């Protein structure tokens, strides 16, 4: 079949996977911006369609509801975080320094404004999401990377032997949970890069060296 205007073949049937993936990426990128700026309730599927230049039917065909779209946005953000960690340059030093570098990168990732906004929505809209609240895929590759780094540090005899998974959860709780929680509540205590660095350095020192004088 050809177009009467151009004489070129007219596309029929389903679009190629590459075009479909590109369309979904544009929709997710637009939705990420809108959710982060307007919140969940303040963002509509029509706004997303307008922002990415797609028809509303196109958006609904790929994401049947706003909740499904938000879940895709969270999944995309988590995927980008994994890619960022995987692309980290090799950290110089012993196993403890490598663990320290990985933990600091995880803190920086979690303090990204888009991620803070998405976390805020997840908690504030818990009633909307119910049991389907978006969570990272399990097992979480980021946590597994941290667990493996802890195990290597233990093997080198540089930290005490304990369950690496439990230690990973404690490190996340001590080093990441406080600044991200403050940011989610709208506080600016950890907005400057130096404040994040100071929090990490001081807390890491307590964790590794203890509180005894």
Among 32-36, 78-82, 124-128, the minimum mean pLDDT is found in 124-128
Cα 191 to Cα 5, 16, 174, 186, 196, distances in angstroms: 56, 43, 18, 10, 7
Cα–Cα–Cα angle for 72, 74, 77, nearest 5°?
A: 110
State residue 179's pLDDT score: 95
| Predicted confidence (pLDDT) at residue 2 exceeds the cutoff of 80 | no
Average pLDDT over residues 39-67: 94
Helices 66-86 and 113-124: angle between axes, nearest 10 degrees: 140
Torsion 107-112-116-122 (CA) sign: negative
**In a domain? residue 144:** yes
The pLDDT of residue 88: 86
Instruction: Confirm whether 46 is domain-assigned.
Output: no
**Tokens found for residue 139:** 């097992």
Tell me the whole-structure pTM to 2 decimals.
0.83
Looking at the 3D structure of the chain, how many domains does it have? 1
∠ Cα 100 103 107 (to 5°): 135
Q: What angle do CA 51, 55, 56 make, to 5 degrees?
A: 90
CB distance 117 to 35 below 8 Å: yes
Strand partners, 9: 2
Domain-located, residue 203? yes
Residue 10 has pLDDT above 70, yes or no: no
Confidence check: pLDDT of 202 > 80: yes
Specify the pLDDT at position 127: 64
Q: Report which of 152, 18, 138, 142 is spatially closest to residue 98, judged by C-alpha positions.
A: 152
Within-domain flag for 83 = no
pLDDT at residue 211 greater than cutoff 70: yes
Residue 189 phi, psi dihedral angles, 5° rounding: -60, -30
Domain extent for 112 = 90-209
Residue 67 counted as domain residue: no
Is the residue at 42 inside a domain?
no
Residue 205 lies in a domain: yes
In a domain, 128, yes or no: yes
Tens-digit pLDDT profile for residues 106-135: 999 999 999 999 999 988 887 667 655 566
């Amino acid at each position: 079949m050809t177009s009467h205007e151009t004489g070129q073949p007219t596309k029929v049937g389903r679009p190629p996977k590459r075009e479909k993936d590109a369309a979904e990426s544009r929709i997710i990128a637009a939705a990420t911006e809108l959710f982060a700026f307007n919140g969940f309730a303040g963002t509509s599927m029509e706004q997303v369609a307008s922002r990415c230049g797609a028809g509303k039917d196109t958006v609904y065909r790929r994401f049947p509801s706003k909740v499904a779209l938000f879940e895709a946005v969270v999944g995309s953000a988590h995927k980008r975080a994994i890619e960022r960690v995987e692309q980290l340059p090799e950290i110089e030093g012993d196993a403890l320094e490598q663990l320290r570098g990985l933990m600091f990168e995880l803190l920086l990732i979690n303090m990204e404004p888009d991620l803070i906004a998405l976390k805020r929505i997840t908690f504030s809209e818990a009633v909307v999401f119910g049991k389907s609240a978006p969570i990272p895929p399990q097992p979480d590759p980021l946590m597994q990377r941290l667990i493996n780094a802890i195990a290597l540090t233990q093997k080198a005899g540089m930290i005490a032997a304990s369950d690496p998974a439990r230690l990973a959860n404690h490190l996340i709780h001590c080093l990441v949970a406080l600044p991200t929680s403050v940011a989610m509540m709208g506080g600016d205590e950890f907005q400057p890069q130096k404040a994040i660095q100071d929090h990490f350095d001081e807390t890491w020192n307590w964790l590794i060296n203890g509180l005894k004088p």
